[in-house]
Chains A and B, each alone.
Chain A
Amino acid sequence: DAMVIQNPRYQVTQFGKPVTLSCSQTLNHNVMYWYQQKSSQAPKLLFHYYDKDFNNEADTPDNFQSRRPNTSFCFLDIRSPGLGDAAMYLCATTGGRNTEAFFGQGTRLTVV
C-alpha cells in the first residue's frame, strides 16, 4: 500500500491561476517535504515541516506557500503559476533526519 499519496498525478493549470497540490502520508512521520523537480535536474527542496513548524528555503519564491493542517496532510499552494513553474512536484516524509525518506509518486504540473 502506498505510504505517501499525492493528488492529482497530473495537473494542468492556467497561467496565473492559483493551484493546490496535495499530499498525505500514512506513516505518522514528523517531517514532510516539498520538492520541485524539472526535467533532468535534481529535486530542489522548497520547504519542509517538522510537525507544525514550517521551514522555508531561502531561495523559494514567495509564489509558493504550504499548509499542514495535521500530521497526515500537507498542501502546496502556487498562488500565480508561471510557465517556469511547470515541473514535477514531489512530496516526501521522514521520521527524522536519520531515517529514509519516502516519496509520493509526484504531481506533474503543466502551466498553459
Chain B
Amino acid sequence: GQSLEQPSEVTAVEGAIVQINCTYQTSGFYGLSWYQQHDGGAPTFLSYNALDGLEETGRFSSFLSRSDSYGYLLLQELQMKDSASYFCAISNTGNQFYFGTGTSLTVIP
C-alpha cells in the first residue's frame, strides 16, 4: 500500500513564508506533486518533483528527498487568497496517483 502524511492545519501571517511537509511510503515511486484546492473547487496543480532537490515556480517551491521519502511545499509572500487546502500526491510506475491527507492553510492579516 501507500501512505502520505501531512500536517492537518497550518496558520500563517500575510506576507510570511510557510512550509508544508509531506512524508510518504509507496512502492514504485515516480514523483511527488502538489495541488491547491479551494472550498468547493477542483485541485489545481502547483509543482512537481521527480528528482531530489528544489523546484521553484514563482512564489511556490517544492522540495524532494527520495532517500528520506519526504518533500515539502514552500509558499512565499503569502496572500489571503492562498488560504486553501494543499495536497501532496505521489505518482508511481503503475500510473496510480494518490493524494496525501491534506493541509488546511489559513492566512491571517
Q: Which residues of A contact B (CB under 8 A)?
A: 31, 33, 35, 40-45, 48, 50, 55, 57, 90, 92, 94, 96-98, 100-106
- Residues of B15-47 whose CB lies within 8 A of A: 30-31, 33, 35, 41-45
User: Chain B residues in contact with chain A, CB under 8 A?
Assistant: 30-31, 33, 35, 41-45, 48, 50, 87, 89, 91-102, 104
* Distance of A65 Cα from B100 Cα, bound (Å): 24
> A101 → chain B, closest Cβ, in Å?
6
Specify which chain A residues have a CB less than 8 angstroms from the CB of B43 in the assembled complex.
Answer: 43, 90, 92, 101, 103
If over half of B's interface residues share one DSSP class (helix, strand or loop), that class is named, otherwise mixed; here it is: strand
A33, A42, A94: most-surrounded residue (chain B CB, <10 A)? A42
Residues of chain B contacted by A105 (CB below 8 angstroms): 41-42
Residue in B30, B89, B104 whose beta carbon sits within 8 Å of that of A101 in the complex: B89
Q: Looking at the assembled complex, report how far the CB atom of A109 sits from the nearest CB atom of chain B, in whole angstroms.
A: 14
* A-chain residues with CB within 8 Å of residue B93 when the two chains form the complex: 97
Identify which of A41, A43, A57, A97 contacts B91 (C-beta below 8 A): A97
**What would be 18 A-B contacts, judged by CB atoms less than 8 Å apart?**
A31-B95, A33-B97, A42-B87, A42-B100, A45-B98, A48-B96, A55-B94, A90-B42, A97-B92, A97-B93, A98-B48, A100-B48, A101-B43, A101-B89, A102-B45, A104-B42, A105-B41, A106-B42
